Amino acid sequence: MKKFWRCFICSDIHYGVKPPEVCPTCLAKNAYVEVSSREAVKIMGAGGTTLTREEFRRAILAFAEKNEFEVNPDKAKVEMLLDGLFANEQNHGLKYCPCRLASGDLAEDLKLVCPCHFLIHETYKNKKDGECWCGLFVRRKK
């Protein structure tokens, strides 16, 4: 079961089955202590950060850059999907895939948050022209 962990040096928050051995932020070793989800949310919300559309666009471009896929070159499609992702974040709290419907079970619905783990989906896996379910990410042409 996943838990929240806090680096006692820099308050980096990790959510996972076990904590990292080395804090990726301050590089301290064996620095993580389990905290409650309430504490974790408070710490993570302390910065009050928001992600603008352009920042999210840069984030997914950077994410795709080191992988075998790319952001769809179809700009109109990407803009439509960004409209949906930001509307879903505004109305439902997270950037849910605009092409699937949340069930109401958060643990299950985390699978719908963009980027989702589309590498295992039938629309992508073993497909030459594979893409994620909504088409935001497509397999990069070689």
Partner 1 sequence: MSKLIMFYARECPHCKAMMPHVEKLENEENISFEKLEVWHNEKNADLMRSYRRAIAPKCGGQLRTPTFFNPETSDVLCGEVPYEKLKEWALKQK
Q: CB 41 → partner 1: shortest distance, Å?
A: 25
Closest to partner 1 by CB, 23 vs 134, is 134
**Choice between 19 and 115, CB closer to partner 1:** 115
CB of 110 to partner 1, least distance (A): 13
Q: Which is nearer to partner 1, 88 or 115 (CB)?
A: 88
Question: 76-83 — which CB contacts under 8 Å span 24+ positions?
Answer: 77/135, 77/136, 78/136, 81/134, 81/135, 81/136, 82/53, 82/56, 82/57
- Minimum CB–partner distance for residue 109 and partner 1 (Å): 10
Cβ atoms within 10 Å of 4's Cβ, excluding its own: 21
Find the shortest distance in angstroms from Cβ 140 to partner 1. 19
CA distances 18 to 5, 6, 13, 34, Å, are 8, 11, 12, 9
Long-range contacts of 15-19 (CB under 8 A, 24+ apart): 15/40
Which residues of the shown chain bind partner 1 in the complex (CB under 8 A)? 77, 80-81, 83-85, 87-88, 91-92, 96, 98-104, 112, 121-122, 133-135
Q: How far is the CB of 125 from partner 1 (least distance, A)?
A: 12
Q: 84 or 115, CB closer to partner 1?
A: 84
Residue 119, amino acid = L
